[in-house]
Amino acid sequence: MSSPISKSAFIKAEQCLKHFYLYKNHPYLRDSLSKEKQLIFKRGTDVGIFAQQLFPNGIDVTVGEKRDQQLFAEKTKHLIAQGVSTIYEATFIFDDLLVMVDILHKHEDKWIAYEVKSSLKITETYVKDACFQYYVIKNCLPDLTDFNLLTLNPKYTLEGELDITKLFKTTSVMKDALKNVEYFAHKTRIAKLTLEQGKIPDIKIGTHCFQPYECDFLGTCWKNTNDPSSVLSLGKLTKQAMFDLYDSNIKRIDEIDINTIEHKEVKIQVKAAIEQKEQIYQQEIGLFIADIQQPICSLDIEVWMPAIPYYQGTKPFQQIPFLFSMINEEEGKIQKYSYFKPIEEDYRKEFLEHILLMTKNFNSILMFDKSLEETILNQLAELFPEYRNDIATLKSKIIDLAEPIRKGNYYHPDMKGNFTLKSIAPIVNQEAGFHNLDVQSGISAMYMYESLLEQNPIEGEHIKEQLMEYCEMDALITYQLLNFFKSKLDS
Ligand code: SF4
């Protein structure tokens, strides 16, 4: 066997043996890692390093070494023999299985392992991963007495100095780990057998391609289905419902019997595919628009959710608004306004006051999917009760332009099963759009904002401009979507 089976590889084997085989033998076929995923991994690593402070003065086996896991395992063994009591990234190999654990700590002659998760909740997958780590480590280190998951404590509120012992929540997985020893021995045999067979397992695509994680080889396995006319590009259907169609040999959207479809938002997609043109329910759109009163503006808010609370009185992953952009029209000219909160300061009150001031003269405030904005406004109302009435007034003026699209009253085949603002943007405005921007999503906006903590002022200014450009684009497309609907009614 070339290299041991790591925890990541083992998880892939659990998901799909083809995924595992490709990962081990054809890694060059992997899809490139999206910027969002890279940022999420980076956050995981940062929180892991932060948690080391719970057990200070440990030795990280990966520091100063080239990326050689065999070497890390030897170094771990050596440190244990030397009597070191805290080891970070402790590495173990047993029966050609390799695991690295974030923190290994000796307490009264017994070893305890800790795996850090940048999350508020423990998932089934986290427990399974931890049980696998326990299985390998216990076979190398019989004195291992406990294996814990360290997650962020949703009840923790930053008050004064950060208290790391309260920030993290410790949960032992020993009950599950002890139950599953035989399971891992069995699964390991299957994984090894798959590699020994020396050929890619013949496994069809299915719902498992997304569970528990999106597979890294969609580009390889799904390439023949990457066609907007495929039933697998239908939106508003569960993966299971899509595969029920696909497996019953209905591969193309226009092969579906439209009379068998119950939901309007699916029916409109099928109709668009059959007729190869956009679909609009004019009466419904007309009624929706009738509620909109001049003067109007559009509004978009971006939020930051720091894993480790940054401002007093906040909790892990609390949504902190940091930017809003507003679009309106004056004498036929588009006007833009943005408010950007510096990351160093908790200017949520100023943020709120600016929103209230800027929107107060408008009778309708357009948004696209108001759920985030409404949540933020509700939080601000709790935090600053003196503005509760003003916030209620603002909320009463919100018009959510995602609604007619979500309800299946408008659809264009170019939306390819997506009902997001990004998918409708090129239809609404062919010149403007998100494709030219450095920031492509709310998640990347959030991580870019967080990166301001590490940037120099010149880079920081550049990031601020990029974030404002993104938020303004969101508000602009939302604003133009209303005109787009109106033009459809006129025509
Ligand atoms: S895309 Fe699906 S079938 Fe292909 S390797 Fe991944 S999980 Fe397996």
**List of domains in the chain:** 5-196 (3.90.320.10), 225-264 (no CATH), 284-490 (3.30.420.10)
Which atom of ligand 1 is found nearest the CA of 17? 8
**What confidence score (pLDDT) does residue 316 get?**
98
Question: Any idea of the CA torsion for 404, 36, 206, 248, to the nearest 10 degrees?
Answer: 30
Interacting residues of 383 by C-beta distance below 8 A, sequence separation 6+: 348, 349
Answer whether 64's CB lies under 8 Å from 37's CB.
no
Q: How far apart are CA 338 and CA 50, in angstroms?
A: 34
Name the residue type at position 423: S
Share of the chain above pLDDT 90, in %: 87
Two structure tokens written together for 133? 């780590």
CA-based torsion, 387, 388, 393, 395: positive or negative: positive
Q: How far apart are CA 478 and CA 485, in angstroms?
A: 11
Instruction: State phi, psi for 485 to the nearest 5 degrees.
Output: -60, -45
Q: How far does the centroid of ligand 1 lie from the alpha carbon of residue 439, in Å?
A: 29
Nearest CA, atom 7, ligand 1: 209
**What confidence score (pLDDT) does residue 97 get?**
95
Q: How far does the centroid of ligand 1 lie from the alpha carbon of residue 197, in Å?
A: 18
Nearest CA, atom 2, ligand 1: 209
**What confidence score (pLDDT) does residue 271 get?**
95
**What confidence score (pLDDT) does residue 164 get?**
97
Q: How far apart are CA 422 and CA 408, in angstroms?
A: 17
Element (H, E) at 148: strand 144-152
Locate the DSSP E strands across 245-319: 279-280, 296-304
Answer whether 176's CB lies under 8 Å from 2's CB.
no
**What confidence score (pLDDT) does residue 41 get?**
87
Q: How far apart are CA 462 and CA 458, in angstroms?
A: 7
**What confidence score (pLDDT) does residue 407 get?**
95
**What confidence score (pLDDT) does residue 232 get?**
92
Q: How far does the centroid of ligand 1 lie from the alpha carbon of residue 98, in Å?
A: 23
* pLDDT tens sequence across 459-491: 899 999 999 999 999 999 999 999 999 999 987
Q: How far apart are CA 227 and CA 166, in angstroms?
A: 50
**What confidence score (pLDDT) does residue 2 get?**
65
Hey, which of 194, 217, 247 would you mutate to test ligand 1's pocket, going by the most ligand atoms within 8 Å of its Cβ? 217
pLDDT tops 70 at residue 101: yes
Hey, which of 24, 25, 203, 210 would you mutate to test ligand 1's pocket, going by the most ligand atoms within 8 Å of its Cβ? 203
What region, left, alpha or beta, does residue 400 occupy, with left being phi > 0 and alpha being psi -120 to 50 degrees?
A: beta
Mean pLDDT of 403-413: 96
Nearest CA, atom 1, ligand 1: 218
Least Cα distance to 192 among 395, 385, 24 occurs for: 24
With a Cβ cut-off of 6 Å, ligand 1 is lined by: 15-16, 18-19, 22, 203, 205, 208-209, 215, 217-218, 221
Instruction: State phi, psi for 18 to the nearest 5 degrees.
Output: -70, -40
* pLDDT tens sequence across 182-239: 899 999 999 999 999 999 999 999 999 999 999 999 999 998 777 888 999 999 999 9
Q: Highest-confidence range of 24-38, 247-261, 396-410, 435-449, by mean pLDDT? A: 396-410
pLDDT tops 90 at residue 429: no
Q: How far apart are CA 467 and CA 477, in angstroms?
A: 16
Which atom of ligand 1 is found nearest the CA of 22? 5
Hey, which of 221, 223, 232, 239 would you mutate to test ligand 1's pocket, going by the most ligand atoms within 8 Å of its Cβ? 221
**What confidence score (pLDDT) does residue 431 get?**
77
Residue carrying structure tokens 């498992």: 208
Mean pLDDT of 292-308: 97
Q: If you ran DSSP here, which 8-state letter would residue 33 be given?
A: P
Q: How far does the centroid of ligand 1 lie from the alpha carbon of residue 314, in Å?
A: 40
59-60 and 86-94 strand pairing: parallel
pTM of structure:
0.91
Kindly report the average pLDDT of the chain as a whole number: 94
pLDDT confidence tier of residue 307, bands split at 50, 70 and 90: very high
pLDDT tops 90 at residue 434: no
Q: How far does the centroid of ligand 1 lie from the alpha carbon of residue 20, in Å?
A: 9
Which atom of ligand 1 is found nearest the CA of 204? 3
